[in-house]
Amino acid sequence: MQRTAAQEAEALFIRRWGEMAAGWGISRTMAEIHALLYLTTEPLCMDDMMERLQISRGNASMNLRQLVNWGLIQRIHHRGDRREYFTAETNVWQMFETIIRERRRREVEPIVETLERCQAMVAAELKTLKGKHREDAEIQLQRFRGILDFFAAMNGLSNAVFRLGPRGLATAAKLLQHA
């Protein structure tokens, strides 16, 4: 059976979305499930996704759970049907805001906490150090501060983007292109 252009486009998008996510350290299957649910107009059950993506039940179940935990998909129940169905957030702005907030919570906040702890450890010992050890510790403190300043700036930027919303972001992007 010959596939339609829409089916070909869906398959291409799912494949590329999975490849992109794999480059960001996110499971390819998780991204492919998300892409499939994003494009479909009706909620899908796990069996439908397993068949369309050629994945195992365990793989589907694990990745669906993660997508629900991230807030990118929701469970839907149909009366009289025991199966769970899933649907994705289709508002692109909301979807990317969720991804950014989750990545910040899961990845950035823990490293910032670690950097602050490392900085405090070195700062507490600095008073007792002399010579080369003191110089090295001061350099470490500067480098920890550099990374923390960068994360603070990026955090401020993402908060500003969220406050602007999609229309404000488009305006800001145009202004920044000419800066």
Q: In what order do the strands lie in the sheet with 73-77?
A: 44-45, 84-88, 73-77
Looking at residue 88, its pLDDT comes to 96
Distance CA 97, CA 20 (A): 17
Asked if residue 167 has pLDDT above 90, the reply is: no
Looking at residue 173, its pLDDT comes to 81
According to DSSP, residue 42 is labeled S
Asked if residue 48 has pLDDT above 80, the reply is: yes
CA 28 to chain centre: 13
Quote the Cα angle for 32-11-73, to 5°: 35
Nearest to 26 by CA among 99, 109, 112, 111: 99
- Specify the fold of 5-88: Arc Repressor Mutant, subunit A (1.10.10)
Region 22-36 average pLDDT: 91
Q: What is the pLDDT of residues 114-149, one digit of tens each?
A: 999 999 999 999 989 999 999 999 999 999 999 999
84 phi, psi to nearest 5 deg:
-90, 140
Looking at residue 24, its pLDDT comes to 82
